[in-house]
Amino acid sequence: TPIPSAWCQGEPQDLLALPSVRGPLPAPRWPVECEVIEETIEHMEWVPPEPEPFCQPAGPEWVPATASEEKGTVVYHLSAAPRGSCFTRARVGGAPGPLSSPAVPLAGPQDTTLLFESRFESGNLQKAVKVGPYEYVLTLRPDLYTAKHTQWFYFRVQNTRRDPLYRFTIANLAKPKSLYGEGLRPLLYSQRDAQSRGVGWRRVGDDVRYYRGSGKEPPSFCLSWTSRFPHDGDTCFFAHSYPYTYSDLQRYLQALAGDPARSRYCAVRALCRSLAGNTVYLLTITSPAGGAAAAAAKRAVVLSARVHPGETSGSWAMRGFLDFLLGTHADARLLRRFFVFKVVPMLNPDGVVVGNSRCSLAGRDPNRAYGTGLCGSFPGVWHLRAMVERVLAEREVVLYCDFHGHSRKNNVFMYGCDEGGSGRRLRQRVFPLMLSKNAPDKFSFPSCKFKVQKSKMGTGRVVLWRMGVSNSYTMEVAFGGSTLGEGPSRAGFGGGLGICRLFPCPLSSPGGRNSHFTTEDLKSLGYHLCDTLLDFCDPDPAKFQQCLSEVDALLRQRLGREPGSGGGWSDVSLSELESRYGPAALSPEPGHA
C-alpha cells in the first residue's frame, strides 16, 4: 500500500477511517503474509484487590531441567515471513484464502495437549513444542521483516487442566537482562474467571527463571516459569504486559466521539496513514478560547505513545492522561483553558496490530527515524515532526513527552536532553523532579538520565529538543512495578496556575510497593503528569525555584561540592554527572513537597 504523496504534505485530514459514534469500527489492516482468525479478542479491565508482589528472584546460575526441543513434538507452528522479505501490501483480514491449521488436532477427550493460538491482534507466538506431559518450549516470532526483537508475547491456550503444574519456556528472547530475573511474573487471563467471577488479568508463575540459552550464536535468552490453570477446559491467555490493541484505542475514541461533554474539548483527526493503511490518530484537546488573542496566548503540549508496539504500558498511561484531561475536575478545566494539547496515542499501529516488539513494517525502529526525511517509510514519526514544526511556528511548545515501557529497570523515570549550559542543565531536571514528588511511590528521580548518546540522536525527544522544544522527554514505565516506598497522601505542591489544590491528586493510587504495576497504577501516571504540568507552569515561581535549588544541591552532593559553594555547571562534563548517579546521592529528601 503506497503512501500517497498528499500524506507527505499539508495538515492532518479530517476524514479518514475515523471511529464513528455508531456502526462498526474500522477494521485493522494486516500485511498479506499474516493469517488472522475471525474471532474478536477482548478482555475486561480489572484491578486486583491486593498488590501483586514480585516473586523471589532466582539466580541465573540455576537453569531448569527442560527437555530438548529436538526431542519434543511440535504442537503449534506458524510459517515465518521469508528471510530478507519486506512489506509489500496489506488488506483487512490479512492473508486471503482459507486459514491453515498450525495446531495439531487432539487425539481424543483424554489428550491433554494444550491448543495454542496467536493469530489475533497483537498476538505473538510462532511455535510451541511439547517436551513433556505438561511442559512446552515456545518460540516467539521476531518483528516482521526482521530476524530480531523478540520480547513481547501474547498468546492463547485451550484444553487446559486444573490440577497439573505446567512449565513454559520461551527460548528465543533477545535481551541479556530482564526484569524477569528480578521478580517480574507473566500475566494470565482466564475467560471462565472473567465471565463467572469478574476477574481479569493477574500475575502468575512460580519458579520464574531468566537465563542464557546454550549453544547458539548470537546468544538467545530463555524465560521459564511454572503455573497452574484455574479450570479444566478453560480458554486462557498469557502476556508479557497488559495488552492494549489498536482496536482498543479505536473503541476508546468511538466512546469519546459519542460523549457530548468530552467531545466538546477534543477533536479527533487523522494525522496520517501507516504503511498498511491504518489510521494514525491525532487528538487536539483544549477549551474554546475567548477571542483570537486568548487562543494565540495558549502554549502547547505534545504527547505520544506506542512508537514501540510491545511497550503497552505507554498506552495505559496515555489512557489515564486522556481520562483525566477530558474529565470534570477543576485541574482538568484549568489545563484545557491554558494549553493546547496535541496527542498521538498510537504512533506505530501496524506494529501493534501484528504483535511486534519494536519495529514498524519498515523492519526498523521508528524511534530512530525522526531525523530522516523518509515519509514513505516512517509516516507516523514524519508527520508528528511536521505537526510539531507547524505548532512551533504558532506558539511555544512547553513540553513533549513520549511514553515508553522499560524491560530492565523497575519504577518510572525519564530520559531528558542536557544542553551542557549552566542554566538549562538544571532546568532540564526540574520537571522530572516535580513528577517524582507527585508520584513518590512510582517515579524514581535517581533513575533519570539526561545524556544525549550518539545512538539516540534520531529519537523523538532529541530531534524535537533540537527543533526548539526545551523540555523534551521520554517517560519510561517499567514492565515490572515499583520498588519505592509508599509516599504520603499529598496534593503535589498544593496549587498550580493560581488554583490552590487542598486535596490529594484525584485518582492517585496508594498501592504498596515492591509489587507489580496494575493498569490503575499505569493510568495514574497520566493523572500525575497533568498535576506536574500545573506545578511546572505555575505563574508563581516559588515551586520551580524550590526544585531548581534542590537539583543544584543534589548535583553538588553527587560531585562532593559544598552546598552554596558557588560555581556553575558548564565546566562539568555530562559523563561525570551521569557516572555518579546513585539512589543515595539523588533521592529527594522526604517531605519536600
Residue whose grid cell is 535481551: 175
Q: Please choose, from the candidates 65, 221, 203, 67, the residue with its C-alpha nearest in 3D space to the C-alpha of residue 137.
A: 67
Q: What are the helix (H) ranges across 120-226?
A: 191-197
Total structural domains within the chain:
2
**Could you give the angle at the alpha carbon of 364 between the alpha carbons of 6 and 184, nearest 5°?**
125
Q: Facing residues of 397 across strands?
A: 300
Residue whose grid cell is 517499567: 478
Residue 318: strand, helix, or coil: helix
**Could you give the angle at the alpha carbon of 455 between the alpha carbons of 84 and 427, nearest 5°?**
145
Domain span at residue 225?
32-47+66-239
User: Is residue 565 a part of any domain in this protein?
Assistant: no
Same domain, 336 and 435: yes
pLDDT attached to residue 18? 65
d(C-alpha 180, C-alpha 408), whole Å: 9
Output the DSSP codes for 280-301. EEEEEE-PPPSSHHHHHH-EEE
Same domain, 233 and 311: no
Helix axes of 330-338 and 313-325: crossing angle, nearest 10 degrees? 90
Is the bond preceding 19 in cis, omega lying within 30 degrees of 0? no
Residue 49: strand, helix, or coil: coil
d(C-alpha 352, C-alpha 48), whole Å: 26
Residue whose grid cell is 496494575: 518
Same domain, 304 and 179: no
- Judge whether 494 and 502 are in contact, CB under 8 Å: yes
- The distance from CA 18 to its chain's CA centroid, rounded to whole angstroms, is 23
User: Is residue 494 a part of any domain in this protein?
Assistant: no
CATH code: domain of residue 172? 2.60.40.3120
Q: Please choose, from the candidates 321, 242, 246, the residue with its C-alpha nearest in 3D space to the C-alpha of residue 285.
A: 321
DSSP-derived letter for residue 367 is G
Which amino acid is present at 56?
Q
pLDDT attached to residue 154? 98
User: Is residue 508 a part of any domain in this protein?
Assistant: yes
pLDDT attached to residue 552? 87
Hey, what's the cell of 50? Answer: 491486593
d(C-alpha 345, C-alpha 336), whole Å: 18
User: Is residue 363 a part of any domain in this protein?
Assistant: yes
d(C-alpha 309, C-alpha 361), whole Å: 11
CATH code: domain of residue 457? 3.40.630.10
Same domain, 288 and 431: yes
pLDDT attached to residue 495? 47
Domain C-terminal end among 174, 205, 239: 239
Hey, what's the cell of 8? Answer: 507527505
d(C-alpha 333, C-alpha 288), whole Å: 11
User: Is residue 482 a part of any domain in this protein?
Assistant: yes
d(C-alpha 26, C-alpha 279), whole Å: 9
Same domain, 229 and 370: no
pLDDT attached to residue 453? 85
Domain C-terminal end among 190, 206, 239: 239
Count CB neighbours of 268 within 10 A: 20
- Give the Å distances, CA to CA, from 388 to 172, 310, 345, 381, 384: 39, 25, 15, 11, 6
Residue whose grid cell is 533519570: 448
Hey, what's the cell of 471? Answer: 523540555
Hey, what's the cell of 138? Answer: 515456545
Q: What is the dihedral of CA 549, 321, 483, 485, to 10 degrees?
A: 60
pLDDT attached to residue 132? 95
Q: What backbone torsions phi and psi does residue 3 show, to the nearest 5 degrees?
A: -80, 120
Same domain, 181 and 253: no
Domain C-terminal end among 239, 265, 300: 239
User: Is residue 549 a part of any domain in this protein?
Assistant: yes
Output the DSSP codes for 434-459. HHHHHSTTTB-GGG-B----GGGTTS
pLDDT attached to residue 570? 59
Kindly report the pTM of this predicted structure: 0.90
Same domain, 264 and 201: no
- Judge whether 428 and 417 are in contact, CB under 8 Å: yes
Same domain, 167 and 251: no
Is 476 one of the catalytic residues? yes
User: Is residue 61 a part of any domain in this protein?
Assistant: no
Which residues in the chain come in under a pLDDT of 50? Answer: 1-7, 14-15, 487-492, 494-496, 498-512, 581-593
Same domain, 527 and 395: yes
Residue whose grid cell is 526482521: 146
Q: Facing residues of 430 across strands?
A: none
Same domain, 213 and 251: no
Same domain, 348 and 479: yes
> Which residues contact residue 89 at a Cβ distance below 8 angstroms, ignoring those fewer than 6 apart?
1, 31, 32
Which amino acid is present at 29?
R
Q: How buried is residue 578: exposed, middle or buried, by Cβ count under 10 Å (0-12/13-18/19+)?
A: middle
Same domain, 284 and 180: no
User: Is residue 138 a part of any domain in this protein?
Assistant: yes
35, 135, 311, 476: which one is catalytic?
476
Q: CB-hemisphere CA count at 13 Å for 505?
A: 32
